[in-house]
Amino acid sequence: MTTTLTRLHHVGMIVSDLDVAMAFYDKLLGKSPTQRGTITRSEGFSRQIQAEHGEARVAFYEVSGGVAVELIEMRTPQEPKVQPQAYVPGSKHVCFLVDDVDATYETMKGEGYVFHGDPCHFEDETPDLKGLKFAYFRDPDGNIVEIIEDPNKKGLLAKAAQTVGLG
């Protein structure tokens, strides 16, 4: 028998200051965290993060269909911030589905969000992804955040949207 993982619970991101990150995500998501906590003296947590005496503050934002964004501020150990470019193996991003990337992009730019560039529109040169539009920006710690539009409601994105109740 093979293990198959089929339900996404959350996406976790390490942040340097939970309060600063929460201010950013409160504004971005239009809500406060649904759950917050502090992890101290947990042998299990320390074992999972592969560090002695791991301590952290965490906040969860439910975004849709029970899927959450988790922000984690490590109290110990503390390491320098390292954030690879978007194209480097090991880099990660969290993506939010929107109805209109261009309008969302313009609104967010007006609110002070700084994007990597104008939205990318896939057309004839990428037939498998034709119609998709997306744009990247970063949170205060350099974590990559994406907004995406799938106007054709096809393929994996449409199935994902239906799975979490958006389609």
Higher pLDDT, 89 or 109: 109
Question: Are both 8-77 and 90-167 of the same fold?
Answer: yes
> What CATH number was assigned to the domain covering residues 90-167?
3.10.180.10
* pLDDT exceeds cutoff 50 at 167: no
Could you report the per-residue pLDDT of 117-128, keeping only the tens digit for each?
Answer: 999 998 877 888
Strand 55-64's sheet: what is its strand order? 10-15, 67-76, 55-64, 35-39
* Tokens read off for 45: 């947590």
What band does 33 get if pLDDT is binned at 50, 70 and 90?
A: very high
- Give the domain ranges of the chain: 8-77, 90-167
What mean pLDDT is reported for the chain? 86
Name the strand (E) or helix (H) holding 93: strand 93-97
CATH for 8-77 is 3.10.180.10
